[in-house]
Structure 1
């Protein structure tokens, strides 16, 4: 796990960490105004998704955080999924291969176990090389990451 802060001052750190990742978890703030700021033309959400794809990270999980701040709104979640799907498709990701998970980090909802606050949420589905995978929580999405083929028969390569 490589944690990269979402602040503009730490883009260099984000690039360093992301260049070694097998999968990116794009954590999007679901709060009113916060999502719009992140997805705007110069927003951090947009920049991080573009950098992850450019650096070769082909697997993506989108966690829509702060669902508690929008009263667990299904409409708000669906709006964010729709807009995010459109822009990650432009970046190069296939939205059908991305798990979109509503969470609340503050309360721990839907991170490890299903949340009683998200009764409307039926779970995520994503298409992978090995078939269709389904789950409900962020942990399920992390468990569904497919490890990339590693050229173990080749000489050792270390990033510097």
Structure 2
């Protein structure tokens, strides 16, 4: 019904239903951030029509944005201009898909302090039970 669906809800086919993410791995690029991004940082992720606060739980690899080569394993922080692989945990139920499977459901913008601080794509999802 009309009152059963809200902004950010996702509908899908019964045989391959969208899964709520417990956590997900992503590749991000920090566009502009006044300080540094560390584990525990919780900005708002804008993915499709949902807006959910998500926490960085692990900074896996910092990569060179030009070549894609790994610059540092398990970095302590990320700053403006860095590109990295990270692990994210949503604070509320959120549907996100692998960007290789459904590109429109796998891209997101990260906003904080009234500005877009980073953007990225989901590369793997751990579904909630």
Asked if Structure 1 and Structure 2 have the same fold, meaning a TM-score greater than 0.5 normalized by the shorter chain, the answer is no
- Which structure shows the higher helix fraction? 1
Q: Which structure is higher in RCO with an 8 Å CA cutoff and minimum separation 6?
A: 2
Which structure has the larger Rg? 1
- Which structure shows the higher strand fraction? 2
**Alignment TM class, shorter chain as reference:** under 0.3
TM-score by length of 1: 0.22
